[in-house]
Chain A
Amino acid sequence: MLEVRGLEVTFPGATTPAVRGIDLRLDRAKMVVVGANGSGKTTLIRSILGLIRPTAGAISLDGRDVRTIQGDPGLSTNLAEVYRLMSLPVRDLVRLYALLKGGDPAEMEGRLREFELDPVLGKRLHELSTGQQKLVGDLFAVCFQPRLVLLDEPFDNVDFARRRRLVRLLQELSADVLLNTHELELLGSFSGWRLGLMFEGRLLGPFSVAELDRLYLTRGVAPEALAVLETSLGTFSVTRDAGDRPVKSATSLNALVESLA
């Protein structure tokens, strides 16, 4: 179980926090977090991974503070930077990380074949295209029996056919998943998942992706507000069944807020 309480991260030299006041609980669930570039989605994931020191708040995994966790292979991610332990061909990296995670390399090799990525096995990560690197990271994240998978923009630069395969794979995955994306139009693929909306470092929700059609954004503090969002452009409320603009109609969360400001 992942639990985030009051998370705040301010980078050195910055005047405003990259993320603030984030509360999140994920227990036998899958959640997609939608937000524009720069809204703080990756900072949230890197904080959970222990790659960033939070300014305030606490993050725990199965009741243990992530800052004290050592040797727990149950959490995985698709962030490419964590697979740069050595400069080796992908085939060797697969075997290395299978060893580190206590898994079977054949599982990952099978997934690579399934995604028609066998040709990358003999290449090093820097020799792959951006989309191939992203997919290799995605497959590292879902292989070797993880309990919690953190996916940062897993569909970036991935072609349509493989996106569909990846969505199916994520749906079938038995692990908890926290998935970041800036693409609102992808939400239809995750109807059974929880939904978080991220804007200017604040996380709203959780809602349900299934109720996306019923969510609206309204200027000011609405009496029936499901959540209230304080932004540099003013205060907005997320409401159900009625409001100023339907969330689903937006091309991005930023555009939606700006259209109401």
Chain B
Amino acid sequence: MNLTRWYAKAMLTNGSLWFWAVAFMAMWLGIGAFLESQGVGSARSAAVAYTTSWYAVVVLIALSLLAAVIAGSYAYGSSALAYAFRYSRLTPAGYLGSLVGGSALLGLVLNVVLLGATAGMFGLRFATTLVPVDPVALLGVSLVGGAFFMALSSTLTLLAINHLGLRSADFVGYVPLVLSFVLGNAQVYVALPRWFLYGSPFNDLTSLLYQGYSGNTPTVQLGTATVPLGWVPLLLGILVWTGSLVGCTLVLLRRIRSRHLEERRQI
């Protein structure tokens, strides 16, 4: 049973999600383009590198906001899911498939909007055309990114719902956001080791977004040498993470516990 269109509709008509994941993040792009860019050199290569770094980190954080929304919907619907799996034709696998589809679609929509905002604002600031080199690859990465954040958020939230309670589920919902912020910015400002950049799904996504937008291969410093990060292992990395987390989500969904919504109240 495919509920993708229902999920897509519920998420696409969520005004709060549009505000925080699109308008709020577009505001940060504006800060990056017009306030933080004073020290960027006039060379086109510098403008491209600067623009792409902002774009990659902002998309990563926007996708993590999508994850926070999904986490909240689990906490709200634990009884509905437990009931539906027993007393309707909905199966955990069907539900998860729909959620993967809906999240991937929303990841795509978020990326397209932020892509337009990035190209427009940074292009205006640097008075040059800054369109992405490989938009098709970027759209593919955003589909995978949406699915990854859905799976990460689902695994963490369901672990909390099944074993800790709704109070913990509330906090767990912020973990993808915090990790995205820390690791996305760390890649820009800190020399992270190669194994970490390949192994971290957040940095796989950032690197792929960087490459798709700028056309430049992201690099890592190894001693005195600058070594490129290959897109194949980066893509494999994010796909393995997504697949593993989808598997974990399925196991946890089959055992979902009904929690009383009032349990979520913190104070």
Evaluate whether A81 and B14 lie within 8 angstroms (CB atoms) in the complex, with A96-B6, A101-B89 already known.
Answer: no
1/0 contact trace for B72-116 toward A, CB 8 Å? 010011011111111111110000000000000000000000000
Q: How far is the CB of B162 from chain A (nearest CB, A)?
A: 12
Evaluate whether A49 and B86 lie within 8 angstroms (CB atoms) in the complex, with A71-B91, A84-B80 already known.
Answer: yes
Q: Does B122 contact A (CB under 8 A)?
A: no
Evaluate whether A87 and B10 lie within 8 angstroms (CB atoms) in the complex, with A82-B79, A100-B1 already known.
Answer: yes
Q: Does A73 contact B (CB under 8 A)?
A: yes
Q: Does A69 contact B (CB under 8 A)?
A: yes
Q: Does B44 contact A (CB under 8 A)?
A: no
Q: Closest chain B residue to A83 by CB distance?
A: B80
Q: How far is the CB of A44 from chain B (nearest CB, A)?
A: 15
In contact, A51 and B82 (Cβ under 8 angstroms): yes
Candidates B3, B6, B79, B89; contact of A51 at CB < 8 Å: B79
B9: chain A residues at CB < 8 Å are 88, 92
Q: Closest chain B residue to A86 by CB distance?
A: B10
In the bound complex, CA of A96 to CA of B260 (Å): 23
Q: How far is the CB of A17 from chain B (nearest CB, A)?
A: 18
Q: Does B174 contact A (CB under 8 A)?
A: no
Q: How far is the CB of B142 from chain A (nearest CB, A)?
A: 22
Q: Closest chain A residue to B83 by CB distance?
A: A82
In the bound complex, CA of A77 to CA of B83 (Å): 10
Evaluate whether A70 and B77 lie within 8 angstroms (CB atoms) in the complex, with A86-B10, A88-B10, A92-B6 already known.
Answer: no
In contact, A73 and B14 (Cβ under 8 angstroms): no
1/0 contact trace for A102-116 toward B, CB 8 Å? 100000000000000
Candidates A82, A86, A100; contact of B73 at CB < 8 Å: A86
A81: chain B residues at CB < 8 Å are 79-80, 258, 260-261
In the bound complex, CA of A51 to CA of B77 (Å): 12
Q: How far is the CB of B52 from chain A (nearest CB, A)?
A: 35
B210: chain A residues at CB < 8 Å are none
In the bound complex, CA of A100 to CA of B76 (Å): 19
Q: How far is the CB of A9 from chain B (nearest CB, A)?
A: 13
1/0 contact trace for A89-129 toward B, CB 8 Å? 00010001101111000000000000000000000000000
Chain B contact residues: helix, strand, loop or mixed: helix
In contact, B91 and A70 (Cβ under 8 angstroms): yes
In contact, A72 and B258 (Cβ under 8 angstroms): no
In contact, B10 and A73 (Cβ under 8 angstroms): no
B149: chain A residues at CB < 8 Å are none
In contact, B91 and A82 (Cβ under 8 angstroms): no
1/0 contact trace for A61-83 toward B, CB 8 Å? 00000100111111111010111
Evaluate whether A99 and B85 lie within 8 angstroms (CB atoms) in the complex, with A82-B79, A88-B9, A88-B10 already known.
Answer: no
Please, could you name 26 A-B residue pairs with CB atoms under 8 Å apart, sorted by A? A50-B82, A50-B86, A52-B258, A71-B88, A75-B87, A76-B87, A79-B79, A81-B258, A81-B260, A81-B261, A82-B79, A82-B80, A82-B84, A83-B80, A84-B76, A85-B80, A86-B10, A86-B73, A87-B10, A87-B14, A88-B6, A92-B6, A92-B9, A99-B1, A99-B89, A100-B90
The 10 closest A-B pairs by CB, nearest first: A100-B88, A51-B258, A82-B83, A81-B79, A85-B80, A86-B10, A84-B80, A75-B87, A69-B86, A84-B77
